[in-house]
Amino acid sequence: MNIRFFITGIGTGVGKTVVSAILVKCFQSDYWKPVQAGDLDDSDSMKVFDLVGKGHKIHPECFRLKYPASPHQSAAMQGVKIQLSEFKIPSTTRSLVIEGAGGLFVPLNQCEFMIDLIQHLEAPVVLVIRDYLGCINHTLLSLEALINRHIEIAFVVFNGEFVADTKAIILKCLPKGTLHIELPEISRLTPTVIAEISNTLKIN
């Protein structure tokens, strides 16, 4: 059965690309990053390709923006306007992992945000969480936004080590029936490590 996930996070730098690579391996999926802003010589698509190998299709981005900034700002600096109508799900016979940029309210243009792209693509969300000061607040706000928009939450990912009390509060506040994954802290990022984690992945 082919499935589709949209990987988003509670903020920037929480590990969406690593999680995407693990899920690509786990579900034998294709990968698609709709918008890349900055790091065009070392993009997230390139990183995922390096981590999962040649057996997975990496679909080209809709927008490749030069400047490492919010997509709306980077696009404006290039004289480009991002419009939701330009985003089309890549044609594939396999499952698809879609990776967003930043969190849910990263702007794509002056009035539309990443959460609007999720609704446009009609993809269930995988919410990536990492432990830092403020992560409970950011997690609960993200969950509230997804629930208010009636967006399906496929599962949440606890990425790395967590303080027990922090994890307990988040688990208690997850919508009833929401599944979760717990990933270890990864000190050395290699294709072998990604494959080993994907092979032992458990969705609870």
Tokens at residue 165, please? 């009390």
Please tell me whether 152 is known to bind a ligand: no
Q: Look at residue 1 in the predicted model and tell me its pLDDT.
A: 58
> 33, 66, 88, 202: which is the annotated catalytic residue?
33
Q: Is 33 a catalytic residue?
A: yes
User: Which residues does 41 contact at the CB level (< 8 Å), separation at least 6?
Assistant: none
Mean local confidence (pLDDT), 82-110 = 95
Give pLDDT tens digits for 4-37: 999 999 999 999 999 999 999 999 999 999 999 9
Q: Is the pLDDT of residue 159 over 80?
A: yes
Cα separation, 37 vs 108, whole angstroms: 11
The stretches of the chain forming alpha helices (DSSP H) are 16-27, 44-52, 71-77, 114-121, 135-148, 164-173, 191-199
Cα-based distances in Å from 92 to 20, 29, 31, 63, 112: 17, 10, 10, 19, 27
Q: Is 14 annotated as a binding residue?
A: yes
Global pTM reads 0.95
CATH superfamily, domain 4-199, is P-loop containing nucleotide triphosphate hydrolases (3.40.50.300)
Residues 100, 8 contacting (CB under 8 angstroms): yes
Is 155's pLDDT higher than 90? yes
The annotation status of 66 as a binding-site residue, yes or no, is no
The answer to whether 44 is annotated as binding is yes
Q: How far apart are CA 103 and CA 199, in angstroms?
A: 27
List the structure tokens of 200. 């032992």
pLDDT in tens, 62-83: 999 999 999 999 999 999 999 9
Give the pair of three-digit tokens for residue 40. 């065009």
* CA–CA gap between residue 141 and residue 55 (Å, rounded): 37
Confidence of residue 168 (pLDDT cuts 50, 70, 90): very high
**Confidence check: pLDDT of 204 > 80:** no
pLDDT band at 39; cut points 50, 70, 90: confident
d(CA 173, CA 20): 24
Q: Mean pLDDT across the chain, nearest whole number?
A: 95
Report angle CA 126, 114, 72 to the nearest 5 degrees: 145
Would you say 100 is a known binding-site residue?
Answer: yes
17 to each of 81, 142, 176, how far by Cα in Å?
Answer: 25, 18, 27
53 is in an annotated binding site: no
Residue 15 is assigned to a ligand binding site: yes
Query: Domain boundaries in the chain?
Result: 4-199
Q: Does residue 194 sit in helix, strand or coil?
A: helix
